[in-house]
Chains A and B, each alone.
Chain A
Amino acid sequence: MQNLEKFREKIYVCNRTTDGYCLYRCPEYNLKGFESYGARGRMYIARGLLEDRLEIDASLVDRISSCLSCGYCTQRCAFDLTEIFEALKWDLVDAGKGLDKYLQLGESIKENHNPYFKRQKDRLAGIKEKIKPTKGAELLYFTGCASAYQYPTIAQSTCIILNELGPNYQVLGEEWCCGFPLIRTGQVGLAKEIAEHNLEIIKASGASQMVFSCAACYRTFAKDYPERLGLEVNFNSFHITEFLSREFEKHQPTFKGKLEGKVTYHDPCHLGRHMGIYQQPRDLLQNVPGVDLVEMEENKESARCCGAGGEVVKFGYPEMTLELAKKRIEEAEACGAEIIASTCPFCYGNFKDTVKNTGAKLKVQDITEIISQVI
């Protein structure tokens, strides 16, 4: 438990001021109900492991692995609880007790450099027609595996917007998975290896600014590489919504089209609670002609997780993910929205699946898709 050990003091003073606030609206605890599925219980489990009172059995692996890392508990605590539970996941992997499903993702990343069991050489196949790259440009668009392989319209839309706005940019093609699924599931050793590869090729590209259309990749580069993996990062990272907000402030674009309808914005956990970006996506949407932005009951810091848990939990616990996504879709419908917009491919994919599954009459769009339609 060497990673958990670093948090020993915090684990012992858990509940020191406000007892169990972390459970309030915790998506998983409220779905499954036993304390072990919420932060307060997981802190007891962590303590049990540190004191050698608990054995790592299948149930314990399940209780820890199913944490969505959504950060809802951290919002109500003095500590970064997500960091503690990810340290625990790391120790489970080190003890040879990682969740099989998550380890499969690791295998795919090791072999294919993406978690989708796809070929590395096809990474840019979905956006080939759209990109207008400039070799050596200062700005580098890191597509990320999800936008590249699973939801290429997000990467395509991002390229369309960048083309219209006019900054020179590069897209690599030799990059590997950012390592997000590995860090979230405790496979940190492998994450470091692939991060080093990514940093090497970015250095060689000469880029000094990175832009991400994926909330997860953005968090990983901006926070995990320097803080969790201890790597030196020599460039600035921006989420696409941050980047576009800044660009639009400098030069307000001329929109050629108009969007009709009520749009609600779903804050992705890894962009909102994890990185503190709430306003820029809203500003961008409000800037689009015809958009009537409406808020769901739970928004910003209190936004309900879509349930995908960075898509790793979706891979490990598909039924729970679907249940949680249904709740968020219901919330979007209740506020009168016709479109649910997000800016994370995992939320996007999860909502698309859920809408298909439930027959909800809600259109799911990434913010880049919305802007690319009208710019």
Chain B
Amino acid sequence: MNITRSSSPDVRAIEDVYEEIERVVGEEGITSEACDRACYTRDWGPLPTSQEYLPDLVVRPRTTEEVSEIVRLANKYRIPVVPRGGATSMQGGCVPLKGGIVIDTSTMNKILEIDEDSRLVRVQTGLLIRDLNEELEKRGLYYGDRPASWIRTTVGGRISVNGGGAFGPRWGRAIDQVISLEVVLPTGEIIKTGSKVYEPSAGYDLTRLFLSSEGTLGVITEAILKVYPKPACRKVDMILYPKWEGMIRNIGRMLQAGLAPEIMTCHDGTRYRHYIEKKLLEEGKEVPEVAPDVGGILIGFAGREELVEAQRKTMAEVIKEDDGKLGDPEVANLWWETRQGMPFNPWPKTQEKKRFATIDFAVPIGKIGPVFRLYLQLSKKYKLEMYGGGTFHNAPDMFPTLTFAMFIDQRDQTEYERWLKYVEEMAHAAIEAGGTIAGISGVGSIKAPFFKDQYDGSTFEVIRKIKNVFDPNHIMNPGKKFTR
């Protein structure tokens, strides 16, 4: 054991618990080496390089029972526990702000059951979405939650933040895939939140309580999920609208026309330009300027070919009503392929020194226009370069969530602080518009200061009480959702 730096208040507790956990997970399942712990200090988010949150231990359990033992010990010694899946969130959800134990769920990646007749699977939550699909596809099935980061994102990570993905218009969000869960509570008990049947009327709906809980109420170790028959044919198109607002309006017209897309991701002009840039540069062509308030949709239809083609034909008519035009089919396919993560994403040549940081919100459909305009304004106010914005739309009513990204140099503390101010202003605008501060990737630590602002005092008190009932010693993922 080599604990060189500990963020946790009680080093002796860590030393004691190390040996006890080692007995549970074996020598190969635990580490306190500095170089190992350094790899668990952050997620995909833009935390500045000046902030490093080092866990004291990293453990890799294989079963629910092992997680239960670890959490029980952590609770006994009052050591923080941070569950971590693929670490692809950008909101700081798995950053060990108070040190403690990071539970790396990557070893809990088994498919425990595939029931083809009932179209459901039972899986451990460290399973990667891509690996789940690989097995399902052998049986003519697929999973309805498809984030862009599916190569690295785990089932558990997605349901912990209620992620939204490309198949949202057809199958909804991450939580819409969940039938029930197995959870290790912060005191070590193992509970099952439901059966193999979706939406029982026997409530309380414990399943929904844990969805979007971001590891603050326990560790979700297993999930029973819905899966779907793989369509025979899938075709993607790209549509361009002269104005963002027209694009949003046109989605309503598509609903009215009875179109049922499987895929929909929408982007503004800035993001769209990044997508076409790579291909045009490769072809030695100039990249045209694209106004930021242009709207671009990647849309896909799936099913039998005649039905797909019939829908595409109708779509081609409907888009005209808001001056939409079909884009280059090659770019549309490249866009979709890129989302599958095989080649690296397009990236503007001007930004080789920065990363992007994205924040997501949800507002009622009618408020998307003003919120988008605010994003454009704030980028000027806080002197941040836009990476671009986008929306995801979800079944059954195409309810949207929004993501807006900026370029951030993690080494520039002042730029990071300007970005935080932008986040704060956007979060409050979302609340004022009747929406929420987190659309698809949770509150995490970055938006935790505004979590409370979404609720009136007595409602927030209920939320606090729920947290206290499950996690009386506040060991679970401290600093997330709640600042303290």
Contacts and interface: CB of A to CB of B under 8 A. Distances in A.
Contacts of A13: 352-355
A9 B352 CA distance: 8
A21 B341 contact: yes
A54 B52 CA distance: 12
Given A34-B58, A45-B38, A17 B104 contact: no
B87 A63 contact: no
B40 interface: yes
A18 B344 contact: yes
A109 B459 CA distance: 72
A12 B352 contact: no
Nearest to B84: A35
Contacts of B152: 18-21, 23-24
Nearest to B411: A12
Nearest to A76: B344
Nearest to A51: B49
A365 B470 CA distance: 61
B410 interface: yes
A41 interface: yes
B41 A17 contact: no
A15 B353 contact: no
Contacts of A34: 31, 36, 39, 58, 60, 104
A13 B44 CA distance: 11
B18 interface: no
A254 interface: no
A256 interface: no
Given A13-B353, A19-B44, A59 B411 contact: no
Contacts of A77: 344
B149 A19 contact: yes
A53 B52 contact: yes
B-side interface size class: 35 or more
Contacts of B295: none
Contact of A15 (B35, B44, B341): B44
Interface string A3-46: 00000010011011111110110000000111110001100110
Contact of B38 (A16, A20, A32, A53): A53
A31 to B, nearest CB: 10
A57 B35 contact: yes
A55 B39 contact: no
Contacts of A24: 128, 130, 151-152
Contacts of B40: 35
Contact of B347 (A15, A16, A36, A54): A16
B345 interface: yes
Interface in B347-374: 347, 352-356
A59 B345 contact: no
Interface SS, B side:
loop
A76 B151 CA distance: 10
A217 B412 CA distance: 44
A18 B341 contact: yes
A190 interface: no
B270 to A, nearest CB: 15
A16 B387 CA distance: 12
A41 B39 contact: yes
A59 B35 contact: yes
Contacts of B4: 55
B309 to A, nearest CB: 33
Contacts of A51: 49
A257 interface: no
A261 interface: no
A20 B31 CA distance: 21
B2 A18 contact: no
Interface in A306-358: none
Given A9-B352, A13-B354, A17-B345, A33 B34 contact: no
Contacts of B22: none
Contacts of B88: 19-20
Contacts of A76: 151, 341-342, 344
A36 B39 contact: yes
B38 A78 contact: no
A16 B45 CA distance: 10
A45 B38 CA distance: 7
Nearest to B30: A34
A44 B53 CA distance: 13
B281 to A, nearest CB: 14
B107 interface: yes
B355 A57 contact: no
Contacts of B38: 36, 41, 44-45, 48, 53-54
Contacts of B345: 17-18
A166 B410 CA distance: 61
- Residue among B52, B88, B151, B345 with most chain A CB within 10 A: B151
A77 B347 CA distance: 12
B353 A78 contact: no
A35 B60 CA distance: 11
A1 to B, nearest CB: 14
B285 to A, nearest CB: 21
Interface string B204-241: 00000000000000000000000000000000000000
A236 to B, nearest CB: 28
Interface string A44-78: 11011001011101011001000000000000111
A54 B35 contact: yes
Interface in B261-304: none
Interface string B22-39: 000000100101111011
A32 B36 CA distance: 12
Contact of A44 (B39, B86, B106, B107): B39
A54 B345 CA distance: 31
Nearest to B106: A33
Nearest to A9: B353
Nearest to B5: A53
Nearest to B59: A34
A34 B36 CA distance: 7
Contacts of A48: 35, 38
A35 B39 contact: yes
A55 B44 CA distance: 24
Contact of B36 (A17, A18, A35): A35
Given A76-B341, A78-B347, 19 more contacts: A12-B411, A13-B353, A15-B44, A15-B355, A16-B355, A18-B149, A19-B149, A20-B44, A20-B86, A34-B31, A34-B39, A36-B35, A41-B38, A41-B39, A44-B39, A44-B41, A45-B38, A53-B38, A57-B35
Q: Which 10 A-B pairs have the closest CB atoms?
A: A41-B39, A35-B39, A20-B152, A17-B345, A19-B44, A60-B35, A59-B33, A16-B355, A78-B344, A36-B36
6 contacts: A16-B347, A20-B152, A23-B152, A36-B38, A41-B39, A59-B34
